[in-house]
């Protein structure tokens, strides 16, 4: 059989959304190569995807539908045919809906596959058509999104291809050496040309080590730091009137909030030294172009939305957007133009439905009433491992009267609790369209071969489920190509020639050209009056979280991204994740204080749960802070992971998750 080489896109939830070439022969993927011509992928991939063959054909890959035979969570299943499984599931769903209405069904999904079709197309049509409870997909970016939308009216930042022009980059709560490896060549290039790169992170991360100029602030004190810097800039008369007067409004109200953050108060709260603070201020007022590069790490805390608002305001006071290469880059999701209404068809829903916040899955499953959640359909996500307040999630999944259906590639921690498991295709076996939350290329993923075994794409799964339930609306049987054409159907795409044919020919197309090289200067933001809104968020400006460790005996537990996985994805691939048991990184002083040693087993606990880990002495965390990278599969650690300890409380605004506002105790 001749081999086929097609344009592919890395499907994982990662800033980089790499452009690939995928080669298959004999119905099997043989090779995945980085696109050397893509300006951001630049011919290399990350540690994980360089070893992708080990995931694609992993022995645990699901190939047939499964029906539970043992108790919930036991992992005892038997294989069944698709027809039988769909018939049974459709019957059960009809029973649930007939008894309690469509809202008794809860979808649960996130970005396991970032494809536009895989994430948000036929699935949404299906849930609208049955009138299911609406899931608010908040687990990753909601606090930031809310703040971005308040200030900028959209989630758009400078094109990362302009980054090498910057002469000062403030990397704030992101760790690109691990999470955004294709940003590293851009940062390196900027540095070669004389840029200084600061890293603001409580941990001495790989990024902080690479670039120096590290501000090891206390976790959750960023809000204080940003406002303290703003106050200092204002008092020095260093505000960019050229930017602020013409392109913003609300600066006086912003300044009034910042005024409370005196230098002493900021140093006390952040734990930084006066000289660190001073040298950052010196750089901020003198170096241009100036790029603020906050990441999602900075908003996984109680004060997440306020913090993003404060940093965005600081970038505006300094006039950062005025220079090409400068500005505020958190996300570029809003640079893509897609017709979401046509794609997801909210018109299929006949009456308004309730919303549920995915961060609170555990309580939703246990306490939602009128109606109770009776059926849960999980795809593109592994909440038993990744959702906070894990004990509550698992209690919910153990409910005997809950019908749980999971569409997955692997027998994950969540799939083990399912009543029915359906096998999902790998992205390289499906047709899909990819945006990015970092760069500005829209890309087409062409299937290199058919799905392995009896697995199917997310769209095909929901087409089959809709048909089995007798839902007759033709929108529920739309082909993948028709879905892509629906998604592309916008005036912006038509004007820019972004069409199905053009994408087939070119694989990747640059979008968002309308934003110019200097977003919000070359073109106005889509806010009510076309200027950036610096006025404070409509919430209490006092911070909620982030007490300093000296005020309490607890440790602050951070669980940021791990190099070897994307959250739980890749976690079962032994050749990729080498750590035998979950590790707890601890500062040498803390290890000594507790009388522990390298490799000692400890129990990390709080009022929500506990997790067993192995001590690893590390200078990365500061005293009082411990780290366990997110997230291990339960079986790597005795049926639980770090999310036993995280809280399902919501951020100050936007309903986001607060994974890094976790406090724990430790015992040998
Ligand atoms: N290898 C790998 N890559 C990934 C992922 C992965 O799991 N592994 N996950 C992907 C996903 S889903 C996402 S959303 C992105 C996230 O990627 P990032 O935006 O980099 O976010 P995080 O990994 O959550 O955290 C980044 C940094 O924030 C720091 N941090 C924690 N608390 C605070 C604080 O209070 N203040 C400040 N200033 N910093 C703080 C952490 O120490 C960490 O170094 O990465 C994606 N890329
Ligand atoms: N403690 C702690 N917890 C965290 C975080 C943290 O920083 N700390 N970060 C949070 C963040 S930022 C995020 S984004 C969430 C992510 O949480 P999840 O959404 O649960 O992400 P993953 O763990 O990557 O799981 C994705 C699942 O989708 C499956 N999958 C992949 N492709 C497909 C497909 O095409 N179809 C189907 N049906 N399934 C597919 C994969 O096999 C995988 O099991 O985790 C959050 N959890
Ligand atoms: S996980 Fe990220 S860096 Fe790795 S190949 Fe995929 S998009 Fe690129
Ligand atoms: Mo995420």
pLDDT tens for 383-413 read: 999 999 999 999 999 999 999 999 999 999 9
- Please indicate, yes or no, whether residues 463 and 581 belong to a single structural domain of this protein: no
- Please indicate, yes or no, whether residues 619 and 566 belong to a single structural domain of this protein: yes
Residue 228 belongs to what domain range? 154-330
Nearest ligand, measured from the Cα of 174: 1
CA distance 163 to 189: 9
Q: Is 283 a residue whose pLDDT tops 80?
A: yes
Average pLDDT over residues 604-633: 97
Average pLDDT over residues 289-307: 98
Write out residues with Cβ below 6 Å of ligand 1.
13-14, 140, 172-175, 178-179, 200-203, 205, 219-220, 222, 295-298, 300-301, 558, 560-563, 565-567, 660
- Please indicate, yes or no, whether residues 236 and 325 belong to a single structural domain of this protein: yes
555-558 and 105-109: which strand pairing? unpaired
Centroid of ligand 3 to alpha carbon of 14 (angstroms): 6
- Please indicate, yes or no, whether residues 320 and 361 belong to a single structural domain of this protein: no
| Domain contains 50 | no
Q: At 636, is the pLDDT very low, low, confident or very high (cuts 50, 70, 90)?
A: confident
Q: At 635, is the pLDDT very low, low, confident or very high (cuts 50, 70, 90)?
A: confident
The protein residue with its alpha carbon nearest to ligand 1, atom 5, reads: 566
From the list 667, 665, 641, 646, the residue with the least C-alpha distance to 555 is: 665
From the list 204, 255, 247, the residue with the least C-alpha distance to 227 is: 255
**Cβ atoms within 10 A of the Cβ of 205, count?**
24
Cβ neighbors of 220 (< 8 A, separation 6 or more) are 301, 302, 303, 543, 545, 546, 556, 660, 661
CA distances 186 to 8, 173, 283, 325, Å, are 23, 18, 20, 11
At 1 the pLDDT is 65
Q: For the chain, give the mean pLDDT.
A: 97
Closest ligand 3 atom number to CA of residue 41: 8
Centroid of ligand 1 to alpha carbon of 248 (angstroms): 29
| Domain contains 533 | no
CA distance 146 to 123: 25
- Please indicate, yes or no, whether residues 229 and 263 belong to a single structural domain of this protein: yes
Average pLDDT over residues 297-311: 98
- Please indicate, yes or no, whether residues 116 and 165 belong to a single structural domain of this protein: no
CA distance 586 to 272: 20
Q: Is 244 a residue whose pLDDT tops 60?
A: yes
**Contact 413 CB / ligand 3 (< 6 Å):** no
Centroid of ligand 2 to alpha carbon of 381 (angstroms): 5
CA distance 539 to 223: 14
Centroid of ligand 2 to alpha carbon of 139 (angstroms): 10
Centroid of ligand 4 to alpha carbon of 112 (angstroms): 10
Centroid of ligand 2 to alpha carbon of 164 (angstroms): 31
Which CATH number characterizes residue 649's domain?
2.40.40.20
Centroid of ligand 4 to alpha carbon of 180 (angstroms): 12
Residue of 14, 65, 380 to test ligand 2 pocket, by largest number of atoms within 8 Å of CB? 380
The protein residue with its alpha carbon nearest to ligand 3, atom 6, reads: 10
Q: Is 26 a residue whose pLDDT tops 90?
A: no
**Contact 406 CB / ligand 2 (< 6 Å):** no
CA distance 544 to 146: 17
Q: At 550, is the pLDDT very low, low, confident or very high (cuts 50, 70, 90)?
A: very low
Total domains in the chain come to: 3
Residue-by-residue DSSP string for 427-438: GGGS-EEE--SS
The protein residue with its alpha carbon nearest to ligand 1, atom 21, reads: 297
395 versus 574: the higher-pLDDT residue is 395
From the list 631, 664, 448, the residue with the least C-alpha distance to 555 is: 664
Average pLDDT over residues 488-494: 97
- Please indicate, yes or no, whether residues 221 and 116 belong to a single structural domain of this protein: no
Q: Is 548 a residue whose pLDDT tops 50?
A: no
Average pLDDT over residues 281-297: 98
Centroid of ligand 3 to alpha carbon of 625 (angstroms): 29
**Contact 17 CB / ligand 3 (< 6 Å):** yes
Centroid of ligand 2 to alpha carbon of 112 (angstroms): 5
What digits encode the pLDDT tens for the residues 366-380? 999 999 999 999 999
Q: At 579, is the pLDDT very low, low, confident or very high (cuts 50, 70, 90)?
A: confident
Centroid of ligand 1 to alpha carbon of 379 (angstroms): 23
Alpha carbon 187 to chain centroid distance?
22
Which CATH number characterizes residue 76's domain?
3.40.50.740
Centroid of ligand 2 to alpha carbon of 379 (angstroms): 10
Q: At 578, is the pLDDT very low, low, confident or very high (cuts 50, 70, 90)?
A: confident
| Domain contains 128 | yes
Average pLDDT over residues 458-471: 98
CA distances 500 to 38, 177, 599, Å, are 19, 34, 54
Nearest ligand, measured from the Cα of 568: 2
Q: Tell which phi-psi region holds residue 599, choosing left (phi > 0), alpha (psi between -120 and 50) or beta.
A: left
CA distances 487 to 6, 116, 491, Å, are 22, 8, 12
Q: At 553, is the pLDDT very low, low, confident or very high (cuts 50, 70, 90)?
A: confident
| Domain contains 609 | yes
Q: At 551, is the pLDDT very low, low, confident or very high (cuts 50, 70, 90)?
A: low
For 143-200, the three-class secondary structure string (H helix, E strand, C coil) is: HHHHHHHHHHCCCCCCCHHHHHHCCEEEEECCCHHHHCHHHHHHHHHHHHCCCEEEEE
**Contact 205 CB / ligand 2 (< 6 Å):** no
Which CATH number characterizes residue 215's domain?
3.40.228.10
Q: What is the percentage of the chain residues whose pLDDT exceeds 90? A: 96
The protein residue with its alpha carbon nearest to ligand 2, atom 12, reads: 140
Q: Which of 280, 311, 330 is the last residue of a domain?
A: 330
* Token output for 345: 């068809």
The protein residue with its alpha carbon nearest to ligand 1, atom 42, reads: 203
From the list 548, 639, 558, the residue with the least C-alpha distance to 74 is: 639
- Please indicate, yes or no, whether residues 255 and 134 belong to a single structural domain of this protein: no
- Please indicate, yes or no, whether residues 166 and 236 belong to a single structural domain of this protein: yes
| Domain contains 569 | yes
Q: With contact defined as beta carbons under 8 Å apart, do 372 and 552 qualify? A: no
Cβ neighbors of 216 (< 8 A, separation 6 or more) are 201, 202, 203, 204, 208, 271, 272, 622
Q: Is 581 a residue whose pLDDT tops 90?
A: no
Q: Among all chains, which residue has been given the structure tokens 């032994």?
A: 574
Lowest mean pLDDT among 447-461, 478-492, 495-509, 568-582: 568-582
Closest ligand 1 atom number to CA of residue 172: 38
**Contact 205 CB / ligand 3 (< 6 Å):** no
545 versus 642: the higher-pLDDT residue is 642
- Please indicate, yes or no, whether residues 320 and 400 belong to a single structural domain of this protein: no
- Please indicate, yes or no, whether residues 224 and 93 belong to a single structural domain of this protein: no
Centroid of ligand 2 to alpha carbon of 493 (angstroms): 30
CA distances 355 to 125, 373, 569, 593, Å, are 16, 12, 27, 47
**Contact 280 CB / ligand 3 (< 6 Å):** no
Centroid of ligand 2 to alpha carbon of 476 (angstroms): 26
- Please indicate, yes or no, whether residues 421 and 559 belong to a single structural domain of this protein: no
Closest ligand 1 atom number to CA of residue 565: 8
**Contact 32 CB / ligand 3 (< 6 Å):** no
| Domain contains 320 | yes
Helix axes 222-235, 251-258, angle to 10 degrees: 110
Residue 30 main-chain phi, psi, to 5 deg: -105, -35
The protein residue with its alpha carbon nearest to ligand 3, atom 3, reads: 46
Closest ligand 3 atom number to CA of residue 14: 2
CA distance 428 to 448: 6
**How long, in residues, is the chain?**
668
Average pLDDT over residues 185-191: 98
**Contact 171 CB / ligand 3 (< 6 Å):** no
Average pLDDT over residues 139-159: 98
| Domain contains 57 | no
Q: Which of 283, 310, 330 is the last residue of a domain?
A: 330
Centroid of ligand 3 to alpha carbon of 205 (angstroms): 19
From the list 366, 391, 387, the residue with the least C-alpha distance to 378 is: 387
Nearest ligand, measured from the Cα of 298: 1
Closest ligand 1 atom number to CA of residue 46: 1
Helix ranges restricted to H, 205-249: 206-211, 222-235, 241-247
pTM for this structure? 0.98
At 87 the pLDDT is 98
Centroid of ligand 2 to alpha carbon of 384 (angstroms): 10
Q: Which of 330, 365, 398 is the last residue of a domain?
A: 330
The protein residue with its alpha carbon nearest to ligand 1, atom 13, reads: 14
| Domain contains 636 | yes
Cβ neighbors of 145 (< 8 A, separation 6 or more) are 155, 331, 654
Closest ligand 3 atom number to CA of residue 181: 3
Q: At 549, is the pLDDT very low, low, confident or very high (cuts 50, 70, 90)?
A: very low
**Contact 629 CB / ligand 2 (< 6 Å):** no
Residue of 109, 140, 216, 296 to test ligand 1 pocket, by largest number of atoms within 8 Å of CB? 296
Average pLDDT over residues 492-502: 97
């Amino acid at each position: 059989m001749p081999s086929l080489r097609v344009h592919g896109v890395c499907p994982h939830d990662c800033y980089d959304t790499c452009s690939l070439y995928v080669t298959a022969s004999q119905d099997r993927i043989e090779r995945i190569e980085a696109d050397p011509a893509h300006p951001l992928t630049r011919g290399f991939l990350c540690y994980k995807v360089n070893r992708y063959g080990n995931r694609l054909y992993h022995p645990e890959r699901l190939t047939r539908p499964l029906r539970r035979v043992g108790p919930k969570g036991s992992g005892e299943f038997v294989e069944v045919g698709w027809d039988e499984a769909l018939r049974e599931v459709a019957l059960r769903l009809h029973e649930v809906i007939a008894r309690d209405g469509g809202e008794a069904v809860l979808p649960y999904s996130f970005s396991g596959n970032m494809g536009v079709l895989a994430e948000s197309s036929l699935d949404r049509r299906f849930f609208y058509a049955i009138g299911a409870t609406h899931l608010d997909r908040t687990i990753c970016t909601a606090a930031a999104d809310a703040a971005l939308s308040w200030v900028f009216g959209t989630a758009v930042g400078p094109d990362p291809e302009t980054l090498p022009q910057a002469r000062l980059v403030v990397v704030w709560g992101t760790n690109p050496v691990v999470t955004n490896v294709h940003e590293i060549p851009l940062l390196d290039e900027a540095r070669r040309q004389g840029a200084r790169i600061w890293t603001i992170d409580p941990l001495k991360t790989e990024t902080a080590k690479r670039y120096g100029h590290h501000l090891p602030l206390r976790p959750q004190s960023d809000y204080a730091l940003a406002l303290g810097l703003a106050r200092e800039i204002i008092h020095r008369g260093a505000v960019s009137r050229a930017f602020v007067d013409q392109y913003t409004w609300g600066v006086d109200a912003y300044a009034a909030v910042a005024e409370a953050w005196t230098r002493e108060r900021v140093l006390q709260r952040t734990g930084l030294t006066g000289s660190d603070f001073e040298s950052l201020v010196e750089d901020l007022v003198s170096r241009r172009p100036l790029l603020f590069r906050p990441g999602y790490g900075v908003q996984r805390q109680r004060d997440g939305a306020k913090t993003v608002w404060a940093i965005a305001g600081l970038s505006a006071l300094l006039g950062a957007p005025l220079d090409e290469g400068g500005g505020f880059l958190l996300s570029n999701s809003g640079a893509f133009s897609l017709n979401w209404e046509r794609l997801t068809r909210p018109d299929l829903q006949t009456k308004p439905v309730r919303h549920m916040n995915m961060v609170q899955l555990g309580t939703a499953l246990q306490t939602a009433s009128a109606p109770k959640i009776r059926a849960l359909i999980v795809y593109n996500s592994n909440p038993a491992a990744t959702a906070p307040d894990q004990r509550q999630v698992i209690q919910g999944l153990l409910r005997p009267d809950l019908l749980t259906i999971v569409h997955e590639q692997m027998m994950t921690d969540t799939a083990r609790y399912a009543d029915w498991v359906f096998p999902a295709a790998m992205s390289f076996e499906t047709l899909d369209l990819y945006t990015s939350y970092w760069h500005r290329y829209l890309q087409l993923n062409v299937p290199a071969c058919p799905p392995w075994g009896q697995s199917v794409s997310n769209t095909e799964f929901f087409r089959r489920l809709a048909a089995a339930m007798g839902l007759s609306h033709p929108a529920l049987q739309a082909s993948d190509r028709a879905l892509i054409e629906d998604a592309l159907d916008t005036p912006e795409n038509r004007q820019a020639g972004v069409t199905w044919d053009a994408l087939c020919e070119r694989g990747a197309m640059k979008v968002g050209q309308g934003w110019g090289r200097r977003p919000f200067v070359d073109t106005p933001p889509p806010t009510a009056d076309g200027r950036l809104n610096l006025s404070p968020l409509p919430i209490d400006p006092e911070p909620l979280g982030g007490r300093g460790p000296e005020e309490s005996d607890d440790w602050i537990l951070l669980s940021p991204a791990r190099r070897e996985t994307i959250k739980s994805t890749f976690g079962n691939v032994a050749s990729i994740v080498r750590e035998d048991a979950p590790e707890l990184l601890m500062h040498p002083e803390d290890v000594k204080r507790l009388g522990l040693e390298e490799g000692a087993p400890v129990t990390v606990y709080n009022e929500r749960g506990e997790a067993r880990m192995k001590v690893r002495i590390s200078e990365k965390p500061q005293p009082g802070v411990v780290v366990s990278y997110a997230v291990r599969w339960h079986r790597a650690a005795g049926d639980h992971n770090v999310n036993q300890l995280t809280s399902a409380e919501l951020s100050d605004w936007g309903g986001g998750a607060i994974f890094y506002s976790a406090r724990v105790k430790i015992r040998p």
